[in-house]
A and B are shown apart, each in its own frame.
Chain A
Amino acid sequence: MMKRGFFSFALFVTCAGIMPAQAAPVRQATYAVKGKVVGSCEMPQAAPLTLSTIVSNSGKIDPALSNMSWTLAGWSCNAASRITLSARALRLSPPLTKLMPSQAQAINFTARASGWTSADATVTTAETDPLGTGASYTGTAQVQNAPRKASIVVRVSDFVTAGTKGSSSNNAKPVDGTYSATITVTLAPSS
């Protein structure tokens, strides 16, 4: 009996000695790879846009100026964006320091940009002094919620001399000369 017990023990030890080492499960660790691409907008540098007109004997502004438009191609924003228009009124260049009564050297107008947002971005200059001040006026920003690549169409309209009160028949007459205005289209990422 003792002999069988000893034999059994010896056999157990032998088996234990040849058991292979067990491997633990594989170990994994996950690394998140992160980056943030910030918004930016690409816009072309527009060449100066020229309006040329002749004021008739009536002194009224050529109505053909209204709704003249320019297409600006190659605008792109990789994020949600805001488009804003700002403008300075058409003003005699160089401006005079004095004017005769019923004359004006500043002409207000409305500029409108379409093609970027569902509602057009607009601005209307609001010079009140016939001499003009050269002030810059800024319209309300319109928001585009998605990245966009498109052309923008800028249209001008509603020209009226500064200092006009009442009906258009009482419009101040623009003095002759070369006028210039500035329309600035600002496109900025909103994220």
Chain B
Amino acid sequence: MKKLLMGAAALAAMSTTPAFATDPGASYTVTGTVNATCYAGSGGTVAFGTIQIDSTTGKLPGSQDASTTTDNLWCNGVNSTLSFHSDGKLSTATPVSDTTNFTNSLDFTPSVSLAGHSATASDTPVALGATYGTLTVKAEDLHSTKIPVAANDYSGTITVTLSPVA
């Protein structure tokens, strides 16, 4: 009985003990920054191959299109953009001597697209966002405003730009 009373007294003492203040502490916010970036690959070649002009008219054959694709390109910034630069021309390393009757300049229509986002005008960025996918580079409608076209190797460029923006 005496033990029981002592226990009761102990309980009573605990229940009447005033509340202590919480131990001092601090919250730590863990942060990090992932920079916006893009991976554009290393380029490639859009090849029209060998072109035989019409031996009567001197014109290029119709529907001359070429393209190439590069997989696994991406941007992780939600406001990233896609653009390209190209003058849309092919020319030869050596000029033609008879510029009155022959041309060494060909025109094409360039465009690029990445995972469904297409840019169709040079130096005009389009919204891309955070995107991963396949880049398609096209050179279409190869033609010449002047004929006949001189035989030679022709080359031009399309420079693709991925601009990372967070």
Contacts and interface: CB of A to CB of B under 8 A. Distances in A.
The residue in B42, B98, B148, B157 that gathers the most chain A C-beta atoms within 10 A of its C-beta is B148
Interface stretch (A21-29, A62-70, A164-172): A21-29
B123 interface: no
13 contacts: A13-B28, A21-B33, A24-B38, A31-B137, A33-B158, A34-B45, A34-B90, A35-B48, A36-B153, A37-B53, A38-B151, A41-B55, A191-B151
Contacts of A6: 26
A5 to B, nearest CB: 12
B102 interface: yes
Interface of B: 26, 28-29, 31, 33-53, 55-56, 58, 60, 64, 66, 68, 70, 77, 86, 90, 96-98, 101-102, 106, 108, 110, 137, 139, 142, 148-166
**A: interface residue count bin:** 35 or more
B45 A32 contact: yes
B101 A147 contact: yes
Contact of B37 (A20, A24, A33, A76): A24
Given A27-B39, A33-B157, 20 more contacts: A6-B26, A21-B33, A22-B33, A27-B38, A29-B44, A30-B158, A31-B137, A33-B139, A35-B90, A36-B152, A37-B51, A37-B149, A42-B58, A76-B148, A78-B58, A147-B96, A147-B98, A147-B101, A147-B102, A147-B148
A114 B165 CA distance: 67
Interface of A: 6, 10, 13, 16-17, 19-24, 26-42, 76, 78-79, 146-149, 189, 191
- Residue of A16, A17, A147, A189 with highest tally of chain B CB at under 10 A: A147
Contacts of B50: 35-36, 38
The 5 A-B pairs of least Cβ separation, nearest first, read A35-B48, A79-B151, A27-B40, A24-B37, A39-B151
A190 to B, nearest CB: 10
